A and B are shown apart, each in its own frame.
Chain A
Amino acid sequence: MKPFAYVRPGSVAEAAEAFAARPGARYLGGGTNLVDLMKLGVEEPGALVDLTRLPLDAVEEVPGGALRVGALVRNSDLAAHPLVRERYPALSQALLAGASGQLRNAATTGGNLLQRTRCPYFQDVSKPCNKRTPGSGCGALEGVNRDHAVLGWSEQCVATHPSDMAVALAALDARVELYGASGVRTVEAAEFHRLPGEQPQRDTVLRPGELITGVLLPAATAGLPSRYRKARDRASYAFALASVAAVLQVTDGVVEHAGIAFGALAHRPWRARRAEEALLGAAPTAAAFERAVDLELSAARPLRDNAYKVPLARALALDVLTRLAPPAATA
């Protein structure tokens, strides 16, 4: 870790200015991933712009019934928030399925979205990684790739996004609120992260200097039945082998709304739009769920060590959807 400058701006605008003024600057949130990566030599910031004291730490209802979550709301506080638990149970469940109590107390909403892959080749600066060092190659493609992507990967990168929270946000139609040189904009949570393509070094659609100011949870999915389920190598404190978040609205015996996203299968939370389309207007039967999920996962291209992810994700999705559907429907 090289010596770096440190600034603590008093406002979002000051933060963006401070960032722009310092080459190699990084924004600091809870630090649970950034400091980790700095110790590994993966991140070598010239300056840290500390956002943690900006007034972005509230969860508040906005007119129209949406919920606005400040970027600096800690993961533990977001998971415990009564309105989140009541209206977006999948989000609370996803947060609580991730990391540990200590990490959730420090990690922020914005930082959780911006955490980097835990691919061991990305984390080891002595090995090739196109995400860390574009053009150096991908160590995982022919290496140990049990934890890697089965969907949407490229020859450049087979890493997965590690967040649980982001999977729930994608399924719930959340939007990410950004502030940058060109002003304020929002992006769908499901489109915030990218697929690797030819530019695996870019995890998200963030523009240089842009920062996350908050997440908007829409009124449309508020209060709908939603769930998150994750499979992992030990009972707690482990990244997902595969996970799924789903929200399902059944009206008059047919699916009126479905939001489904997979975690740990791709470079981003994988919004299962083909499955959702297949379900819309259909009766929520076991057969319909199987057809929809299989349609989505037919695009999977497993690597040498991770073929298990496809049946695992399938089983998780069917389990979650079945539990979300009215009991009579799947009987």
Chain B
Amino acid sequence: MTGQHTPAGATASHATASDVTLRVNGKPYTLTVDHRRTLLDLLREDLDLPGAKKGCDHGQCGACTVLLGGRRVNSCLLLAVSLDGCDVTTVEGLSGDGEELHPLQRAFQERDAFQCGYCTPGQICSALGMLAEAAAGHPSHVTDPAAPADRPVRLDRPEIRERLSGNLCRCGAYPRIVEAVEDVIP
């Protein structure tokens, strides 16, 4: 998200659509997008990648969570036009080209960490982003404020729960999701 890009700027100032180039799950895509199009709708409608789900469309449920430059975000609140040059990973991009599931996907399956499955891609992407944040020493609301800033945070259950609280699950699979995440903590 850093670096200077040529502004869509003065020459195209009245246009309501622009060209953007994105890498999604490692593949480059160039599309002309309506400025109103969110990343979520771009994934679902333009790229036919329905893994990121539309649960609320307002950043209140987490079902649309994807990784943007490796960081977890709500794709429903990001305008695609603003993401030119960015790198996006969705749940479809986690297992690689082979048939093998990502270890976290496998853990969700083994732990029965879902029922209806609608929140699941968001839970999985969120958990992966969360693991990276903890490894980088990012604190959470329940981290001891005196914990050293430069060390990974040890993820006990209260930590996992707090950090995944941006992902609602109406089927109530929370205890199993926490176990699945614990299964992949290095």
Q: Is A in direct contact with B (CB under 8 Å) within the complex?
A: yes
Give me the interface of B with A, judged by CB distance under 8 Å: 1-5, 7-10, 12-16, 18, 34-36, 38, 57-59, 62, 65, 71-74, 77-79, 81-82, 126, 129-130, 133, 136-141, 143, 145, 149-150, 161-167
A-B pair number, CB within 8 angstroms: 145
Given contacts A1-B36, A28-B79, contact A8 B5 (CB under 8 A): yes
Which of A74-82, A134-142, A214-222, A266-274 lines the interface with chain B? A74-82
A28 and B35 alpha carbons, distance in the complex (Å): 13
User: Are the CB atoms of A39 and B139 closer together than 8 Å?
Assistant: no
A/B interface sample: 18 pairs, CB < 8 A: A3-B34, A3-B35, A3-B36, A5-B15, A6-B81, A7-B8, A31-B79, A31-B82, A35-B78, A47-B13, A48-B79, A52-B82, A79-B139, A86-B149, A96-B139, A100-B62, A101-B166, A236-B141
Given contacts A6-B8, A236-B141, contact A102 B2 (CB under 8 A): no
A10 and B57 alpha carbons, distance in the complex (Å): 30
A7 and B161 alpha carbons, distance in the complex (Å): 39
The residue in chain A whose Cβ has the minimal distance to the Cβ of B65 is A102
Can you list, as one digit per residue, whether each of A261-300 has a CB less than 8 Å from chain B (1) or not (0)? 0000000000000000000000000000000000000000
User: Are the CB atoms of A39 and B57 closer together than 8 Å?
Assistant: yes
8 A-B pairs with the lowest CB-CB distances in the bound complex, closest first = A100-B166, A236-B165, A3-B16, A82-B149, A80-B138, A8-B7, A96-B141, A237-B165
A47 and B18 alpha carbons, distance in the complex (Å): 13
A32: chain B residues at CB < 8 Å are 59, 74, 77
A80: chain B residues at CB < 8 Å are 133, 136-139, 149
A50 and B4 alpha carbons, distance in the complex (Å): 12
User: Are the CB atoms of A5 and B35 closer together than 8 Å?
Assistant: yes
A116 and B57 alpha carbons, distance in the complex (Å): 18
New A-B contacts (12) at CB < 8 Å, excluding given A53-B2, A80-B139, A96-B139: A6-B8, A6-B35, A7-B7, A21-B13, A48-B79, A52-B1, A76-B138, A80-B149, A96-B141, A102-B73, A102-B129, A105-B129
B164: chain A residues at CB < 8 Å are 101
A289 and B74 alpha carbons, distance in the complex (Å): 42
User: Are the CB atoms of A99 and B166 closer together than 8 Å?
Assistant: yes
A172 and B144 alpha carbons, distance in the complex (Å): 21
